[in-house]
Structure 1
Amino acid sequence: MTLTVADLRAAIDRLVDAMARDFDMLNSADGALGDGDLGVTLTRGTKAMQEAAPGLPDDLGQALLACAQAFTRTSGSSYGTLMATGLMSMAKALKGRTGVEASEVSALIAGARDAMQARGKAELGGKTVLDSLDAMAQATAGLTDPAAVAAAAADAAARAQAALKDKPATVGRARIFGEKTIGMDDPGMIAMTAIAAALAGR
């Protein structure tokens, strides 16, 4: 099954609903280790993408670029910047195409991970969203059914979050708290788990 801009629009609607639902939870989690505005960032960013959705072109690359630009206009936060960076990586890979196969999603996620890693100058294992994306890329490799890909990505994000909960954060603002972060979920990983779940229709 080929995924198109129509699927992107539907996915954006699910993200808007999920971010509104998880608004307080995301802000609270971020408040423990950061600025406490992660829910604000993601709610504004996804709503901006939703507002842009009706006018998105059939070219998936251009559509994703427009989404990245819309998201960036709403927030100057580091997480918002990373999200836009990931979207732009996917946009570049899909430029000129009107469809993408589910089997390509793993490589797109991996590309976003690498672009975000270069932008944030972080390493895997640091208890960040990069670890979520790495797990998602690995879990979706070789899958060809869209529903299976979405489910595998959502499950992988949740597993990665749980696996690193008892590790100390070594990257970003959270690293300031050092050993205190042991036993705490990383806000960025929480957000990616929520995003992946929403994309899977959960």
Structure 2
Amino acid sequence: MKETLTLADMRNILIEITRLMDEQKDYLCQLDGALGDGDIGLTMSKGFRAVTENLPNIPDENIGIVLMRSALVMGETVASTMGTLMASALIRGGKVMQGKAELHVEDLFTMTSAMVQALVERGKAKVGDKTILDSIVPAMNALEAAHQAGKPLKEAINDAYAAAEDGAKRTIGMQSRHGRAGRYLERSIGHQDPGAAVGALFFKGFANYVNNQETG
């Protein structure tokens, strides 16, 4: 059973995340239309597509370099709130993965923790504010628990995705407190946060990839 993610794996995971963002583009825009500008699906689809198209231009040095270079492309391609947040998360995650040729469960936890820190600093939000943090933080906690329990890579990643998906769904009962969505106050309750949905799709990319590796 596969117990590490290699540089090639990470490249393929970014490609799978891109496919998911494109596939769910209309759904994300629908979620965003209830609380924001209605363009988050287009933003993430365009941003990750640029990331994927740039992958051949990134030298095979290490996973940190791939993530940081991808973050720069994301930031340059989609100068929106979510584009900036995702770019900030990717570049911070890349910095702590500098020099890594492969990732274990503990590394994934470290990477996700760094991403969370970047999102907190950039977005000035916290868990419960109905943002991307409400899916990313549960994924981070699931990875930490999986590492402490000594779970295998595939199980750890599936746990992270399940936690992210559950976290995204929990935002339906929350009130938005940031950005354009924050203007809706109590009216935001009953709508799933589009940013949290993006976070869940990010980890679904990891889960789809490792599950396909087992069956492919």
TM-score by length of 2: 0.88
Match of 2:55 among 37, 53, 56: 53
Rounded to whole Å, the distance in 1 between the matches of 2:178 and 2:39 is 18
Match of 1:155 among 152, 159, 162: 162
Rounded to whole Å, the distance in 1 between the matches of 2:145 and 2:106 is 6
Q: Tell me which moved more, 138-147 or 45-54.
A: 138-147
SS of 1:76's equivalent?
A: coil
Contact 2:136/2:196 (<8 A) preserved? no
Gaps of 5+ in 1: none
Question: Paired residues, what number?
Answer: 202
Q: Which residue of 2 aligns with 1:145?
A: 152
The residue identity in structure 1 corresponding to 2:27 is M
Structure 1 residue 67, shift from structure 2 partner: 0.6
Contact 1:20/1:43 (<8 A) preserved? yes
Rounded to whole Å, the distance in 1 between the matches of 2:82 and 2:126 is 16
Rounded to whole Å, the distance in 2 between the matches of 1:25 and 1:72 is 23
Rounded to whole Å, the distance in 1 between the matches of 2:63 and 2:112 is 15
- Taking only aligned residues, the RMSD between alpha carbons, in angstroms, comes to 1.5
Rounded to whole Å, the distance in 2 between the matches of 1:19 and 1:117 is 23
Q: Which residue of 1 aligns with 2:97?
A: 94
TM-score by length of 1: 0.94
Contact 2:50/2:74 (<8 A) preserved? yes
Match of 1:41 among 33, 40, 43: 43
The residue identity in structure 2 corresponding to 1:67 is S
Where has structure 1 moved over 4 Å in runs of 4 or more?
none
Rounded to whole Å, the distance in 1 between the matches of 2:103 and 2:18 is 23
What do the CA deviations read for 1:155-178 (whole angstroms, capped 9, x no partner)?
001111222311211122211000
Gaps of 5+ in 2: 212-216
Listed as ranges, the matches of 1:1-202 within 5 Å are 1-56=3-58, 57-143=60-146, 144-201=151-208
The residue identity in structure 2 corresponding to 1:88 is I
Contact 1:9/1:53 (<8 A) preserved? yes
Contact 1:113/1:133 (<8 A) preserved? yes
